[in-house]
């Protein structure tokens, strides 16, 4: 009987394993993916910019189902995200690698000390304090081992090369001691890009495939001309010759006629079966606007031998990143779904929650099944750390709601929900003295970092308890409030979210939704309590 039941379970699992997977594999704000494999397990890290904890880390057994297991920057004292850290600054494109029992993440802290390495024996953490790398100009560092030596590749100009065309940048390499963060020997420029006017060479990753050195980089910027290019060399130090197939991956020629746009910044991994796959960033616009910003996608790669040598072919027969395709030949391994409801009964905050810049964690505590937030004077419109705890918006159609208890007799004290892209682009649905208010902040010009705030609507409200709800529908949003979940009414008209899209907001960050409060510049010990928070897709 036991054997029969076991076989039945195995058959059910086999029958439930799909033949295909859908992109993206990480939806919402997960740009600049880097990946490595240890045994039969895959680990991936993404950029996080001004958000803390930084460097989200996921693991997977099948390259499709991913579980968040921690963050590389998980202690407020590892790196201080200082006030005045601008939108889309902070932690840039990381690389994750594994060597001789140690995990390494190398990345850049823009607007502070530059490039650094953190290490861990277990990718769930704890991760080490940063080892800051001296004399490492530029961004997007990566590590490559050959035998017992390690090499640093980074994006930047080190040889006083003239800016002979707009956006000129380069990729350079130097030996490094990765356990001390010390560069060794001489630097060498490897390339300025695949063409004489190539722009913004960045995101380098170096591999050795079939006895040949392959350099993979991003080019063209992270917008409409984004692309992946490759370079071949018989020797580690070059010369690195642009492959004739370049760009080996791009959607730049498709404009907005294809559901996936602006592909680039890729990394490679070989499965335990010998197959090659690539992760990369891309966007999914709705009605011409990329509200979810840059997400992580997956594509099959064939290794071929061409005139240029080893040549990567992305999704053979298609040449484009697909919305759905045959999944990797790996055991189907679903992970536990992220709970829709957080009722704040755990001992620690869920891994989904993020803060703008470095928070004082004493301002947030889970007590008796509620989340208590101490309000700070900082606001969402400043480059500071406000009382804001938020999670990524991962769906074009979603619902976010929360039950709140807040008592205030002062106009400057307010609390509620916020839908946030950056300091100049957000909505706030708040309770303040005797009323509910819906506020909107928009940038006056494209890519403007200072927003113009306006009051969309106010409604008289008495009572200390309220339920708020935000309903996202593509590039539209509706805002609701009420004394309980069954008696909600809309405040204001349906709102436009197009200014959240990369096409208007620009920047490298993404869209978040969460719980917020402020005393509007006044020092206070005011508190707000949340009974629960719920986030879920609506279709």
Mind telling me the catalytic residues?
A: 32, 202
How many other C-beta atoms lie within 10 A of the C-beta of residue 221?
A: 15
DSSP per-residue letters across 89-126: -EE---EEEEETTEEEEEEEEETTTEEEEEEESSTTSP
Q: Count Cβ neighbours within 10 Å for each residue of 318-327 and write b for 16 or more, e otherwise.
A: eebbbeebeb
Question: In 441-526, where does DSSP find H-type helix?
Answer: 502-505
Question: In 423-505, where does DSSP find H-type helix?
Answer: 502-505
Nearest to 278 by CA among 270, 286, 288, 289: 270
Query: Residue for token digits 């279709």?
Result: 539
Cα separation of 469 and 486, whole Å?
Answer: 11
Classified as helix, coil or strand, 65 is coil
8 Å CB contact between 466 and 460: no
Query: Residue for token digits 């006083």?
Result: 160
**232 token code pair:** 């071949």
How many other C-beta atoms lie within 10 A of the C-beta of residue 363?
A: 17
Classify burial at 270, counting beta carbons within 10 Å of its beta carbon; exposed 0-12, middle 13-18, buried 19 or more: middle
Residues with Cβ within 8 Å of residue 300, at least 6 apart in sequence? 275, 276, 277, 278, 314, 315, 316, 325, 326, 328
DSSP 8-state secondary structure symbol assigned to residue 164: -
Nearest to 240 by CA among 264, 269, 204, 275: 204
Cα separation of 75 and 119, whole Å?
Answer: 14
For residue 219, cis peptide bond before it (omega within 30 degrees of 0): no
Residues with Cβ within 8 Å of residue 147, at least 6 apart in sequence? none
Nearest to 231 by CA among 252, 253, 204, 210: 204
How many other C-beta atoms lie within 10 A of the C-beta of residue 344?
A: 20
Cα separation of 121 and 103, whole Å?
Answer: 6
8 Å CB contact between 57 and 45: yes
- Is the Cα torsion angle 40, 92, 49, 251 positive or negative in sign? negative
How many other C-beta atoms lie within 10 A of the C-beta of residue 79?
A: 21
Cα separation of 448 and 421, whole Å?
Answer: 12
């Amino acid at each position: 009987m036991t054997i029969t039941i076991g076989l039945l379970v195995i058959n059910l699992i086999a029958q439930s394993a799909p033949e295909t997977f859908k992109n993206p594999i990480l939806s919402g704000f997960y740009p600049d993916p880097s990946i490595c494999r240890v045994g039969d397990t895959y680990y991936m890290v993404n950029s996080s910019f001004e958000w803390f904890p930084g460097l989200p880390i996921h693991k997977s057994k099948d390259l499709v189902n991913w579980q968040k297991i921690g963050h590389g920057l998980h202690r407020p004292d590892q790196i201080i995200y200082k006030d005045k850290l601008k939108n889309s600054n902070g932690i840039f494109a990381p690389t994750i690698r594994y060597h001789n029992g140690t995990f390494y993440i190398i990345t850049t802290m823009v607007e502070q000390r530059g490039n650094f390495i953190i290490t861990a024996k277990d990718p769930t953490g704890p991760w080490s304090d940063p080892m800051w790398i001296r004399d490492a100009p530029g961004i997007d560092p990566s590590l490559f081992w050959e035998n017992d030596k390690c090499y640093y590749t980074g994006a930047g100009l080190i040889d006083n090369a003239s800016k002979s065309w707009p956006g000129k940048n380069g990729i350079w390499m130097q030996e490094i001691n990765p356990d001390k963060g010390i560069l060794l020997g001489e630097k060498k420029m490897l390339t300025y890009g695949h063409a004489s006017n190539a722009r913004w060479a960045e995101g380098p990753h170096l591999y050795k495939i079939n006895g040949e050195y392959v350099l993979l980089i991003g080019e063209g910027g992270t917008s409409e001309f984004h692309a992946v290019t490759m370079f071949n060399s018989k020797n580690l130090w070059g010369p690195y010759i642009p492959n004739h197939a370049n760009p080996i991956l791009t959607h730049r020629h498709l404009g907005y006629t294809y559901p996936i746009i602006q592909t680039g910044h890729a990394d490679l991994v070989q499965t335990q079966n010998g197959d090659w796959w690539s992760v990369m960033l891309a966007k999914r616009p709705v009605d011409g606007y990329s509200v979810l910003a840059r997400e992580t996608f997956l594509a099959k790669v064939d290794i071929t031998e061409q005139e240029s040598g080893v040549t990567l072919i992305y999704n053979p027969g298609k040449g484009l990143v697909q919305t759905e395709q045959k999944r990797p030949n790996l055991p189907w391994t679903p992970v536990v779904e992220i709970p829709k409801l957080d009722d704040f009964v755990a001992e620690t905050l869920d891994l989904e929650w993020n803060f703008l810049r470095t928070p004082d964690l004493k301002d947030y505590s889970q007590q008796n099944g509620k989340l208590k937030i101490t309000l700070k004077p900082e606001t969402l419109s400043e480059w500071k750390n406000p009382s804001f705890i938020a999670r990524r918006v991962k769906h074009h159609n979603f619902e976010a709601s929360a039950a709140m208890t807040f008592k205030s007799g002062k106009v400057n004290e307010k609390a509620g929900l916020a839908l946030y892209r950056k300091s100049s682009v957000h909505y706030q649905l708040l309770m303040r003295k005797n009323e509910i208010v819906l506020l909107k902040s928009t940038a006056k010009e494209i890519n403007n970092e200072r927003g113009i705030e306006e009051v969309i609507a106010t409604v008289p409200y008495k009572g200390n308890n309220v339920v708020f709800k935000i309903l996202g529908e593509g590039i539209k949003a509706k805002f609701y409030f009420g004394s309980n979940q069954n008696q909600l009414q809309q405040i204001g008209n349906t709102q436009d979210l197009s200014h959240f899209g990369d096409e208007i907001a620009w920047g490298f960050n993404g869209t978040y939704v969460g719980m917020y409060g402020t005393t509007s510049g006044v020092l206070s010990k005011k508190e707000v309590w949340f009974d629960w928070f719920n986030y879920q897709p609506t279709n």
